[in-house]
């Protein structure tokens, strides 16, 4: 395999993964993650270093984004870039701690922010959203003729974790991904910023 794409939907930015591959042009790292949130990295302006400039794509998301918004970001940013990159292998860093029911990155954190507490806003994803993202990855794999691998990462609400993993496995086994509702527009600001940065490297 000459080129590998890593697609990371964990609620945390994959700072370790980014650091390992940020100077390589044969590994594309794409991350959607809650921001501001631990570990505090993953700004849109972090695009790699040296020979790897342009092969790190960060989409820092504000709290309160849900299934439709995240799928829209993947389809508008991740999918055209990966298609252009043409990897021989696609790996998904499949963290499910962005589920709305997750105690670490989910709805409770978002509601605490709305109540005026200094807690980062949470993610509002559901198992349907994860299935839709898995469908996006599957579309890319089929289009490129590349193997697809999901690697389990975070997830701290066992019920939500189980439902999300099952939804993804069903899509991998051939089930049709769910159709999500319309976006509320909350993703527009981050999308505009990411496109502004990434258009230096990719025709978006």
| CATH number, domain with residue 125 | 3.40.800.20
60 is a domain residue: yes
Query: Do the beta carbons of residue 124 and residue 64 sit within 8 Å?
Result: yes
Helix, strand, or coil here: 182?
coil
Query: Do the beta carbons of residue 130 and residue 95 sit within 8 Å?
Result: no
47 is a domain residue: yes
Give the model's pLDDT for residue 118: 45
Q: Give the pair of three-digit tokens for residue 74.
A: 């993947």
Helix, strand, or coil here: 122?
coil
Which residue range is the domain that position 76 belongs to? 4-198
Residues of the chain with confidence (pLDDT) below 50: 118-119
153 is a domain residue: yes
Angle at 10 between CA 127 and CA 6, to 5 degrees: 110
204 is a domain residue: no
Burial of 26 (0-12, 13-18, 19+ CB in 10 A): middle
**81: how many CB neighbours lie within 10 A of its CB?**
20
Give the model's pLDDT for residue 111: 56
203 is a domain residue: no
128 is a domain residue: yes
Query: Do the beta carbons of residue 15 and residue 42 sit within 8 Å?
Result: yes
122 is a domain residue: yes
Interacting residues of 202 by C-beta distance below 8 A, sequence separation 6+: 54, 80, 81, 84
Alpha-carbon dihedral sign for residues 164, 14, 139, 75 = positive
Give the model's pLDDT for residue 116: 52
Q: Alpha-carbon distance 69 to 46, whole Å?
A: 22
Give the model's pLDDT for residue 121: 63
The count of domains in the chain is: 1
Q: Alpha-carbon distance 135 to 158, whole Å?
A: 23
Query: Do the beta carbons of residue 57 and residue 116 sit within 8 Å?
Result: no
């Amino acid at each position: 395999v000459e080129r590998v794409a890593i697609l990371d939907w964990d609620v945390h930015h994959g700072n370790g993964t980014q650091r390992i591959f940020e100077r390589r042009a044969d590994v594309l790292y794409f991350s959607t993650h809650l921001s501001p949130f631990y570990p505090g990295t993953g700004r849109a302006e972090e695009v790699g270093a040296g020979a790897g400039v342009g092969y790190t794509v960060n989409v820092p998301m504000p709290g309160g984004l849900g299934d439709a918004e995240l799928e829209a970001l993947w389809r508008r940013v991740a999918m055209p870039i990966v298609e252009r990159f043409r990897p021989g292998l696609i790996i998904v860093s499949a963290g499910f701690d962005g589920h709305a029911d997750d105690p670490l990155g989910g709805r409770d954190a978002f509601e605490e922010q709305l109540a005026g507490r200094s807690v980062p806003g949470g993610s509002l994803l559901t198992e349907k959203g994860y299935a839709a993202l898995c469908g996006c990855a599957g579309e890319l794999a089929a289009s490129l003729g590349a193997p697809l691998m999901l690697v389990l990462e975070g997830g701290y609400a066992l019920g939500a974790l189980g439902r999300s993993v099952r939804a993804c496995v069903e899509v991998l086994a051939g089930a049709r991904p769910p159709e999500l509702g319309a976006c509320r527009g909350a993703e527009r600001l981050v999308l505009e910023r990411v496109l502004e940065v990434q258009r230096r490297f990719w025709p978006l």
